[in-house]
Structure 1
Amino acid sequence: MAVSGGCSGDDGGTAGDNSISGGNGGSGNNGGSANGGSGNDGGSSNGGNGFGGFIDSGTNGGSGGTGIDPDAGCAFDKVTGDRVPANMLFVIDRSGSMNCNPPPTQTSAQCENSPQKQDQSLNSKWEDTRIALEAALDQLQAQPNVGVGVNMFPRDNSCQVSGTPNIQVTSLDSTQLSGIKAFFGTVDPGGRTPLAGATILSYKHLLTQLQAGNLEGNKFVVLITDGFETCAPDELNKLVNTDVPNAYDLLNIRTFVIGAPGSEGARSLLSQIAKAGGTASSPTCTADPNGNADVGDCHFDLTNVSSPQDFANQLSQALEAISGTVLTCEFDVPQASGGGEVDRDKVNVIVTPDGGTAVNLQQDNADCENSANGWQYNADKTKIVLCGNACDTAKQEGSSVQIVLGCPSDIK
């Protein structure tokens, strides 16, 4: 990784070549190979191959079927569905401008000129962000198979970035949740905005964890920033065109982006990151690298807030939407109890809402993002994916998913 610009710090240092280099990497979930290595914290440098150097290039349960009885004669096995784990690394801007009040109490221009609270009686952007994050984490903690970590930038009050998160990604149990909240209480915003370096090194960390076999399931980066890259602008082209898409295509790391007030001039950049990272708000959203810097609607854009409370509400809604996406509706195709191969044409799925009636889902192979309502296999048939209302029901607290083996699949 190469992060150019005037960054410094004990961990960051200054280098003239790659900040990350070394031996052979591992392979991503989608089979992408890696050939970089491990490195420590990223400070500043004037070149190198960067990230490309280590990656080569509701209440309704859904559509009801004919009613497969899990105790029917054809059913030789029934298992509880194991939800695919979700691992989230929050990459959060703690630059000096996060000290400011949200608009309209303090405009972005006023904050840029004087990055400190104008009204001490009101929350700063960081304080509102902390409240919303803690509420979102409280909700996530109630869900099974969710891991969360935190990496804040800069590490100093200048441009230092680090490949080692402040809080490692691990299961969001009560201990992890308490640790994150305690850490948030120590954060004192300051410094510039090394967005590129922090994002790249976060991918690097997740790759290292994948190589070590520590991250099973889906991986997500959630980038929250209130500004444009101010430490290494020369890195942005590589970030958008190499690093983010490689993380998504080769390692299956999706990148969500939230732009807080102050990021008006970075709308295009942030939307490009979201689009390349597989989380565009819609297929037709705008993320034109050749257009206006302040035009882009592929990310969560919170810059047009009408009041500090509006910012807090919009941020909470964005985090809720991200959490809803991260709480996967993917389940591993189980092995038969005898250890034999499962006949993919003889699988059925039953969803039971908490206190409700079991619903036999139909296999629906339409577009899962749009019209499908039932279940389908992923591309290599290693996972069962619930779509539409079936997914919504499965995500509800107390719902259960049962996979029945042996009976012909009920296909829509």
Structure 2
Amino acid sequence: MIVLDPCSDRFGLHRTLLFPVLVGFALWACSASGDDAGYSGSGNEGASGSAGSVFDSGLTGDGEIDPDSSCAMTTLQAERIPLDMYFMVDTSGSMDGPKLALLKSGLTAFLQAPDSAGLGVSGQRFPIGGLNETCDSAVYGSPAVPWAILPDSQWSTWVSNLKAEGYTPSVPALRGAVDACKNRMTAEPARKCAVVFVSDGEPEGNCPPVSISAKQDLKDIAAEAYAAGIPVFAVSFYGISSVGQAILIAIAQSGGTEVPFAIKEGAVQQDFMEALAEARGTALGCEYQMPTTDAGVVNPFLVKVAYTPGASGESQTIPRKDSLSDCGSQQGWAYDDNDHPTKLVMCSATCDTMRADAKGKVEILLGCSSSQR
């Protein structure tokens, strides 16, 4: 069985995160005949009273999948949902000098790091237009370099040519970044997208609202992104005002990432690169693709998720929830779509448990459609 190492950058383990991460799936191709059980959102049980008719073998009396049954076991490798990141980087006049040099070197190191292989990247700078900056969010949402899967040299070239000038039009910049991620997810629905918003100052210039008046707009944009499945990470550079820092905190909280990453004076390339790596690891989350197999059509009504802690070695079944909104503080998982599932998403409590256990493993047992054996 292939084992998932569910470590997380947010928990200080970013150096061990490999991209992509693999998880073992055990699938049973069953030999019985009969009609498939219909799938409905039945909450934690995962099977209705008639589910037993799907298989004549392979299930225990209570509807559980029995790995010791006569079903033939096939082992597959499945990747976590692949990740894209849209970088919106502040190149206003206040970033000139050591801060811009640090931004360039840290971002370049992150893009070229072996652990970033397979990551999709795109982005833009703000302001665009110097002291007469554009306020059109569509311009900031238009990638400076086309989306690319790392490794890719064109991104490092763009970063090396960045120059600092102008004001800080934060509202159209963040709006553009979020829209860029939405467009990416529409074009690539099997991928996940996250925004990384880097700044050293509060909103200012010719694009209102500015200063503290921009806080609510930026919170709303970040909250909208998070509701659409797009986490928003904020990175503050040293020299930022108290107003600017408060705004970045609001962006991170509303964007589902808790607090900004702080790049302090005296920081080196490694510090910025590690902050980005931590964002990458957190954005990966605990979402897994719904696989298919030649051994049979996956029946989502019979999916079981098992987690084995590294300390105890005793497997635990994670209950299925009808939706993520039912998780609360409980352990569990849910489909992204009960009617046509494409992803298995762990509840926050379960995800936190898995991230904190570097030696734990996740196994997902999938039923199969007997009509497709």
TM-score (norm 2): 0.63
Cα deviation, residue 326, structure 1: 2.2
Q: Give, in whole Å, the separation in 2 of the partners of 1:257 and 1:169.
A: 21
Cα deviation, residue 256, structure 1: 0.3
Cα deviation, residue 93, structure 1: 0.5
Relative to structure 1, the CA distance from residue 388 to residue 240 in structure 2 (aligned partners, 3 Å threshold; closer, same or farther) is closer
Q: Give, in whole Å, the separation in 2 of the partners of 1:71 and 1:134.
A: 50
Cα deviation, residue 214, structure 1: 3.2
Matched, 1:151 2:110: no
Q: Give, in whole Å, the separation in 1 of the partners of 2:208 and 2:104.
A: 27
2:155 maps to amino acid:
I
Q: 2:277 pairs with 320, 326, 329, which one?
A: 320
Q: 1:79 pairs with 69, 76, 80, which one?
A: 76
- 1:166 matched to which residue of 2? 144
Whether the 8 Å contact between 1:84 and 1:218 is mirrored in structure 2 is yes
- Identify the structure with the greater strand proportion: 2
Whether the 8 Å contact between 2:305 and 2:318 is mirrored in structure 1 is no
Matched, 1:362 2:316: yes
Whether the 8 Å contact between 2:318 and 2:333 is mirrored in structure 1 is yes
Matched, 1:222 2:196: yes
Query: Can you give the 5+ residue segments of structure 2 that lack an aligned partner in the other structure?
Result: 1-12, 17-21, 24-64, 369-373
Whether the 8 Å contact between 1:150 and 1:165 is mirrored in structure 2 is yes
Cα deviation, residue 333, structure 1: 2.2
Q: 2:166 pairs with 175, 191, 200, which one?
A: 191
Whether the 8 Å contact between 1:95 and 1:192 is mirrored in structure 2 is yes
Cα deviation, residue 323, structure 1: 1.8
Q: Give, in whole Å, the separation in 2 of the partners of 1:361 and 1:147.
A: 34
- 2:220 matched to which residue of 1? 242
Relative to structure 1, the CA distance from residue 346 to residue 203 in structure 2 (aligned partners, 3 Å threshold; closer, same or farther) is closer
1:252 maps to amino acid:
G
Matched, 1:91 2:64: no
State the Cα deviation string for residues 300-323 of structure 1 (Å, max 9, x = none).
Answer: 233xx3x52x36454333222212
Q: 1:261 pairs with 222, 234, 238, which one?
A: 238
Q: Give, in whole Å, the separation in 2 of the partners of 1:385 and 1:205.
A: 24
Relative to structure 1, the CA distance from residue 339 to residue 74 in structure 2 (aligned partners, 3 Å threshold; closer, same or farther) is closer
Cα deviation, residue 260, structure 1: 0.5
- 1:130 matched to which residue of 2? 104
Equivalences for 1:13-412 in 2 at 5 Å? 73-74=70-71, 76-100=73-97, 124-139=98-113, 142-144=116-118, 146-158=119-131, 159-160=133-134, 162=139, 163-172=141-150, 174=151, 176=152, 178-211=153-186, 213-231=187-205, 232-234=207-209, 236-237=214-215, 239-249=217-227, 251-265=228-242, 266-280=244-258, 298-302=259-263, 305=264, 307-308=265-266, 310=267, 312=269, 314-337=271-294, 340-348=297-305, 362-365=316-319, 376-378=333-335, 380=337, 382=341, 383-385=343-345, 387-388=351-352, 390-391=354-355, 403-406=364-367
Whether the 8 Å contact between 1:336 and 1:405 is mirrored in structure 2 is no
Q: Give, in whole Å, the separation in 1 of the partners of 2:281 and 2:127.
A: 29
Relative to structure 1, the CA distance from residue 94 to residue 343 in structure 2 (aligned partners, 3 Å threshold; closer, same or farther) is closer
Tell me how many residue pairs correspond in the alignment.
283
Whether the 8 Å contact between 1:149 and 1:168 is mirrored in structure 2 is yes
Q: Any idea what SS the aligned residue of 2:239 has?
A: coil
Q: Any idea what SS the aligned residue of 1:342 has?
A: strand
Whether the 8 Å contact between 1:96 and 1:189 is mirrored in structure 2 is yes
State the Cα deviation string for residues 330-384 of structure 1 (Å, max 9, x = none).
Answer: 2112235365342444435689x9xxxxx89533359999896xx8445646433
State the Cα deviation string for residues 163-208 of structure 1 (Å, max 9, x = none).
Answer: 3111233322x3x2x1111111111211111111111112223333
Whether the 8 Å contact between 1:248 and 1:276 is mirrored in structure 2 is yes
Cα deviation, residue 402, structure 1: 6.6
Q: Give, in whole Å, the separation in 2 of the partners of 1:160 and 1:390.
A: 44
Q: Any idea what SS the aligned residue of 1:337 has?
A: coil
Q: How large is the RMSD of aligned CA atoms in angstroms? A: 3.9
- Identify the structure with the greater helix proportion: 2
Query: Can you give the 5+ residue segments of structure 1 that lack an aligned partner in the other structure?
Result: 1-57, 63-67, 101-123, 281-297, 354-358, 408-412
Q: Give, in whole Å, the separation in 2 of the partners of 1:70 and 1:80.
A: 18
Whether the 8 Å contact between 2:200 and 2:240 is mirrored in structure 1 is yes
% same residue: 25
Cα deviation, residue 388, structure 1: 4.8
Q: Give, in whole Å, the separation in 2 of the partners of 1:317 and 1:95.
A: 23
Q: Give, in whole Å, the separation in 2 of the partners of 1:137 and 1:70.
A: 42
Higher relative contact order (CA 8 A, sep 6+): 2
